[in-house]
Structure 1
């Protein structure tokens, strides 16, 4: 994670008032240039890079987001050329992005996740975020019509607010409590995320709760095992929060 840091002291772009299509920096909070970057520096040729994976999303990204997209690929996968990624495997690692608010962080990361899953459909991205931004992440997937399933794990309290479908009640069987419904909801979403290409979003508190290894219940042990072993790409929103080496 400490491998690379991209800092930004510039003001975010305004997105342009003459464009009818909403740009990614209008409502989000991601903005950065490398301190020595040239805004006119050409982006990688599309036919030899990961850009060919998301042509429809590339058109919606600003120049600074395109540079950041390539920055992510270079530091996480080792290259922006799909044919060289395996050869560059020793360069794989992670990166820290230091940014100013308001320039499309969420959409940039979503674009990266889409491209990553297209190249590596067997990988399982996990997004951890503060509970105050969880629904923002989910709404961004809907807003940009991302064709990849996204599963949002609610906290136990917020689940009562956002729950939509009631669990079927069988004759003679007691009606499940909200806590039971919440566990079933978590179990279903984690199982689906584990089974096919998709994105799982959850809060830090929910993650720690579900990761407990001392549970005596089989379903909780299953969820803890999946969350420990399945994520192969981890996104930490507000990453300064889990910066402790003991996290």
Structure 2
């Protein structure tokens, strides 16, 4: 606590971070609303939980404990990404609801029963511990330490994912995208992105055959793939 200069400074920093978090949440909701109603973009239905997510979770556990040699096949979003997203939703309710009660206890006591304030304290603090635990144990691994993304998954900043990693992590959507582009599918069938391309993906100095890259860049989803720094990458909407 001494690092922050005392309890008052620490409380001010905590409250400031809380207002920033609430503003970010409101911005995200406004972004979704404008995207769907004004810009007429399709609602991201693939982010909604499905029964397949439960089956993928079971298959993932079986794979990691050695009961199966087959990984689950993900579509555009895996169950982990969906949980990451939707957990923030109910977490925000707990954190903001409990936090506002604790931030304004006198006003809250005038309109809420007496047990509301200690309940808010327990809910707010326990949710914070749960969130930090998930971030440190699960999110940190898949966003930073996983061999396919180490030292970090840069798609949050670039909006792009290397095509070879996309094929590995999201085989169902990858197959759908390839089926929608005959030229790209032909290049893949001919092995244009195998062998040398996979070596290039692992070695920054490597290169992918130019004809294969240009075919992908020109054909797949009307140019939603780009050739960047020796690798074909797919633009993704990270919202």
Shared topology, TM-score over 0.5?
Answer: no
Higher CA-based Rg: 2
Normalised to the residue count of structure 1, the TM-score between the two structures is: 0.24
RCO higher in structure (CA 8 A, sep ≥6): 1
